[in-house]
Amino acid sequence: MLAKGNTKLGWRLWSFSIPAIETCPGSTWICRELCYACRSHFLYDSVQDTYERNYVDSLSDDFVERMVAELKKNKPEIVRLHVSGDFYDASYIQKWTELCRQFSSTIFFAYTRSWRVPELRPALGQFNRLPNTHLWWSVDGDTDAMNGRPPIWKNVRVAYMQVAADETIPHYVDLVFRDGERKPRKYSNGRLICPAENGVKTHSKITCSACGICFNSRPTPRKVMEEAFIVS
């Protein structure tokens, strides 16, 4: 069920994924249309079969027990939940909460739009209260228009999917991912663009393993203060 790294995640990270869209109750039109997990190698039958099998396994009563065995076997330092997919119901979130509690020396992090589903927030809150978890609220222009600012929770940061290069980034955002536009740029509206995707050339390829912003507790760098919010 666990996958070891990839060219973006790097060697330190393992991941667990399930099918995109159908397991994403907080998705918006923008993210469904532009979902990276519905492109490229994600469309391979072998990948889709693995994600579907993981989803079926996650529904089973013995999911926690089976995942415990995998975590003990592989001893991952860091686990990225849902390169594809999302927290689809409260029971599923509770299963991961129990796993994170049992494996306190492993770091678990996830981006989620399930914050948009009110009945899932209590379970997400339990997950977030563990010292070895890192949650990111995932947002875009649709969520901002429909929901406004997402809930302000301790230790939860906000990532924005920017569709157009001139799109204004809301002031509450910590990290930016871009779709399509690949002009080298470190910041957009003063908010850091994912270093692995900013197009800025370095001596070596930046991976999530090397960057660490998504799974550490340090504040995400900003180019400007909120009160001096300008286009970079």
Residue 128, in any domain of the structure: yes
Residue 230, in any domain of the structure: no
pLDDT at 229 > cutoff 60: no
> How many separate domains does the chain show?
1
Domain of 127 in residue numbering reads as 3-213+218-222
**Percent of the chain, pLDDT > 90?**
70
Residue 192, in any domain of the structure: yes
Residue 66 and residue 102 in contact, taking contact as beta carbons nearer than 8 Å: no
The confidence band for 207, taking pLDDT boundaries of 50, 70 and 90, is confident
Residue 227, in any domain of the structure: no
Question: How high is the pLDDT of residue 230?
Answer: 41
Question: How high is the pLDDT of residue 224?
Answer: 57
User: Which letter, b or e, does each residue of 7-31 get, where b requires 16 or more Cβ atoms within 10 Å of its Cβ?
Assistant: ebbbebbbbbbbbbeebbbbbbebb
Residue 228, in any domain of the structure: no
Residue 231, in any domain of the structure: no
**Which of these, 184, 137, 185, lies nearest to 161 by C-alpha position?**
137
Question: How high is the pLDDT of residue 22?
Answer: 95
Residue 71, in any domain of the structure: yes
Residue 229, in any domain of the structure: no
When the pLDDT of each residue in the chain is averaged and rounded to a whole number, the result is 91
Query: What is the pLDDT averaged over residues 32-39?
Result: 87
pLDDT tens-digit map of 212-224:
999 998 889 888 5
Question: How high is the pLDDT of residue 232?
Answer: 37
Question: How high is the pLDDT of residue 228?
Answer: 41
